[in-house]
Every structure is written in structure tokens, then in C-alpha cells.
Amino acid sequence: MERVILHSDLNNFYASVECLYCPAIRDKPVAVCGDPEARHGIVLAKNYPARAAGIKTGEAIWQAKQKSPGLVVVTPNFPLYLRFARLAREIYGDYTDQIEPFGLDEAWLDVGNSSSIYGDGVHIADEIRARIKYELGVTASVGVSYNKIFAKLGSDMKKPDATTVITRDNYRDIVWPLPAEDLLYVGRATRRKLFRYGIKTIGDIAVARPGMLYSLLGKWGEVLWAFANGQDNSPVARVGEEGLIKSVGNSITTPRDLQNDNDVQMIFYVLSESVAARMRDHGFRCRTVQIHIRDNTLFSFEAQGKLARPASVSTILAEKAMEIFTARYTWEKPIRSVGVRGCDLITAHSQEQLSLFEDEERRLKQEKLEETVDLLRRRFGHFSVQRAVLLQDADLGIINPREDHVIHPVGFFKGGKLP
């Protein structure tokens, strides 16, 4: 039986919720922005009048105000957005139990088993849009297709408040003319690589030789070729499955630009302490460390590396993060934002092969030491115990990411990993 996949995207979500609660600003250009005093002063979301003025997500507030001097800037209210996200998912739950969130404002639904009750995919999509508009006061765009990739493309094509259908018969006409960067996970770096070889559209990816894409992008090139040709069979997770912890991470926009390896190392220690503590709280160790780096031009990249043994010790995580960083970054630009993530989690009590080449006693002492630090911080506060290296810089040493961390959406692939 052909699958029926919907992708629902709440239009301009943060800005739409803010305008709903403040009718006086609905017809004005509005941008939801981070705190400029804490260097989170970028546009997180904007409404359609702001978009019409050329304002883009991710640009600095001062740039946005140059484009629209009358711009209304509001600070984000994440508890309110979470409430609306939950309400939207309650609506989705009336049609299926296969609901896979992709961030706060997006979700995939598999309604193939509901068609005999609620009608075909288009009817369900239209009904969901109508209910979101009537019950929540915001709008959604919904893509309908036979796989997750094309369903998401459909929800992006017509905004606001529209349903777009992509089938096996029409996807070449609808999808292939789109720019390559419209395909999920084709970022700026990948787009530039493809462009150098004359690959500008999704159709160009689809008709390219898989071997050539593999030589250009590695295994990821073959995945993009499959996506472009509609060969995505990944399932939509059932309710509850997406709640399983797949990785633990923290990221932060730093109080000042990082200028050298020493600055970055301090931030890695700060973030790794938070990540390791949270893994210990949940009873996990990680086998892979992933870093996220963004420079002051907002160019970003991710990289990861395997640990010799699973760990939940901050020193081990920070040292691995630094090893990955120094192998990838050449300091062409100062750094604005840093993230550390522990992936490939296993339970802390999983059996593992001991190594003859490691100091097992030292590792156990590190674990006991960090558990003691956890206890002291819970009792006397985060800054009751600090690494001496963090006392070198007053700005970087006062960061407490565990109480002010960024929550990232779960990735498209199982386990949150790219293939």
C-alpha cells in the first residue's frame, strides 16, 4: 500500500504567535530576536511584512532595522511556543499516532492507515490546516507525498496556509526545477560544491551519476541522489519513539568573539562539563563527540570523531572536541558560536572490553571526581567548583550552559546522525 506522508509547517511560527497575542503589531513588520546584550541579537523569525522588506532569518538586528526602520523587535517566549507546538500535535494525534516532530514548528505524519476513516491525504491535510487556523489562530502549510523528503518540500513551496501534493507522477515537474539548496540537508557548503560542477537544481542532482556525487560528497552524495529521485523509505516515528534520548549537547553564542585556540578550549571545557553532567544524570556514556562551529560571518560547520572508549567524563569530551577542532579550523575568521554534543549513546552500565593500553585506575578516579563535582554544584551552586583554566578570562569563565542551553531538534536520520 502506498504511504501517505504529510509534513506540517506552522507558518512564521514564533512571529505568528507573538502577533496573535498582540493584535496592535499584526500589520507591522515584526521580528522575533535574541538578546543583543547577550550576543544573541539575530533574527529568529519574522512575519510576512518583515519578509517583504527583505529581512532574513539569521541576520543581525541592526541589519534588519536598516531594511525596515519601523521594525518591531520582540524577545522570544519559548514556553508559549512550546504550548502551541503541543496543541498542534494534539490536533495531529486525532488522525494518526505516527507523528515525528522536526523542531517546534514542523512535524511529519503518516496517515496511510487513517484514509479509510478521514479521507485521502489531501482531505486530511486541508482539515488539519483548517483546525490549526480555527483552534490556534495561526496558519500552517502542509505537503502531501509518498515520502518524507517530498512532503517537506511540498510544505515549503506554498505559504501561508496551503496544501501542496507531490506524487510519483508529478515530482519531476514539481521538484526537479527547484534550486539544489531546497533539498533537505543541502547547506551552503554543499551547494557551493555542487555549483562548481554545474549542479544547480534538484533535477541536476537526480540525473547526475551517483559515483560522481560520491567522489564529491562521500556517502552523503549518494543519499542526496536518492532523495532527489524520491527514494526515501525512512519511516515516520510513532508517538513516544521520538522522545528517546539519542544525543546530549549544548551550544552557546559566546560573550565575545573567540580569537584563538585557547579561547575555544575554555568554551569546550565549559560545554563538555555540562554535556557530561547531563549524560551522567540520564545514565549514559557517548561513543562519539560532535562539535558545531559558527564564525562571525554566520558560516558554520559540524564535525565529529569517535572516542577510543565510551565516556561521560568532561575532560575526555573536551580533549576530543579540541582534537576535532584543530584538525578542521584554520582561523580565517573569529568564532561566534560553539557547540559540543555526545552521540552514539550507550547506558552507563553496558558491558565493555577493558583496554590493556589505558590507565583504568585513572579513568575511574576521573569519573568519581566529576560525580563529586556534580554533588557539590547541586548543593552549593554551579560556580562553587571551577577549573583553573576558566579563571583566565572573566567573560568566558562565567558561562553556565547547563542552565542556559540551546535545545536542538532531532535530526532526520535515526540517532540524529548523517550517514
- Does the structural domain 176-228 have CATH classification 1.10.150.20? yes
Instruction: Collapse the DSSP code of 235 into the 3-class scheme (helix H, G, I; strand E, B; otherwise coil) and give the result.
Output: coil
Which among 106, 273, 367, 370 is annotated as catalytic? 106
C-alpha cell at 80: 508559549
What is the distance between the alpha carbons of residues 249 and 305, in angstroms, rounded to a whole number? 15
Report which DSSP code applies to 316: H
Strands 106-110 and 163-165: unpaired
What is the distance between the alpha carbons of residues 156 and 117, in angstroms, rounded to a whole number? 27
What is the distance between the alpha carbons of residues 343 and 347, in angstroms, rounded to a whole number? 12
Those residues with Cβ within 8 angstroms of residue 324's Cβ, 6 or more apart along the chain or in another chain: 289, 291, 303, 304, 305
pLDDT at 415: 41
Question: Quick check: 341 and 313 in contact, CB under 8 A?
Answer: no
pLDDT per residue as tens digits for the range 374-411: 777 667 766 677 777 777 776 676 666 655 444 334 44
pLDDT at 119: 92
Instruction: Collapse the DSSP code of 336 into the 3-class scheme (helix H, G, I; strand E, B; otherwise coil) and give the result.
Output: strand
Show the DSSP H helices in 53-163 as ranges: 61-67, 78-92, 115-118, 121-131, 148-157
Question: Quick check: 268 and 340 in contact, CB under 8 A?
Answer: yes
What is the distance between the alpha carbons of residues 103 and 109, in angstroms, rounded to a whole number? 14
pLDDT per residue as tens digits for the range 20-34: 999 999 999 999 987
C-alpha cell at 38: 547577550
What is the distance between the alpha carbons of residues 41 and 38, in angstroms, rounded to a whole number? 7
What is the distance between the alpha carbons of residues 9 and 110, in angstroms, rounded to a whole number? 15
What is the distance between the alpha carbons of residues 14 and 61, in angstroms, rounded to a whole number? 16
Q: Is 148 left (phi over 0), alpha (psi -120 to 50) or beta?
A: alpha
Rg (CA), the chain: 23
For residue 140, list its beta bridge partners.
10
The upper half-sphere exposure of residue 242, i.e. CA atoms within 13 Å in the direction of its Cβ, equals 22
Those residues with Cβ within 8 angstroms of residue 228's Cβ, 6 or more apart along the chain or in another chain: 175, 176, 183, 202, 203, 205, 206
What CATH number labels 244-416? 3.30.1490.100
Q: Which sequence spans correspond to the domains of the chain?
A: 14-78, 176-228, 244-416
For residue 141, list its beta bridge partners.
9
Those residues with Cβ within 8 angstroms of residue 159's Cβ, 6 or more apart along the chain or in another chain: 9, 11, 141
pTM, to two decimals: 0.66
pLDDT by 10-residue block (mean), the chain, 419 residues: 92 94 93 68 88 88 91 89 92 93 89 90 96 96 96 94 96 96 86 93 96 88 94 80 66 86 91 86 84 89 89 90 93 91 77 58 75 74 72 67 45 45
Reply yes or no on whether 106 is catalytic.
Answer: yes
Give Cα separations from 376 to 373, 382, 384 (angstroms): 5, 8, 7
CA nearest to 50, candidates 79, 74, 71, 26: 71
* Cα torsion angle, 406, 411, 417, 419, sign: negative
Those residues with Cβ within 8 angstroms of residue 326's Cβ, 6 or more apart along the chain or in another chain: 261
What is the distance between the alpha carbons of residues 10 and 52, in angstroms, rounded to a whole number? 18
pLDDT at 419: 38
What is the distance between the alpha carbons of residues 241 and 236, in angstroms, rounded to a whole number? 10
Instruction: Collapse the DSSP code of 83 into the 3-class scheme (helix H, G, I; strand E, B; otherwise coil) and give the result.
Output: helix
| Fold of the 14-78 domain | MutS, DNA mismatch repair protein, domain I (3.40.1170)
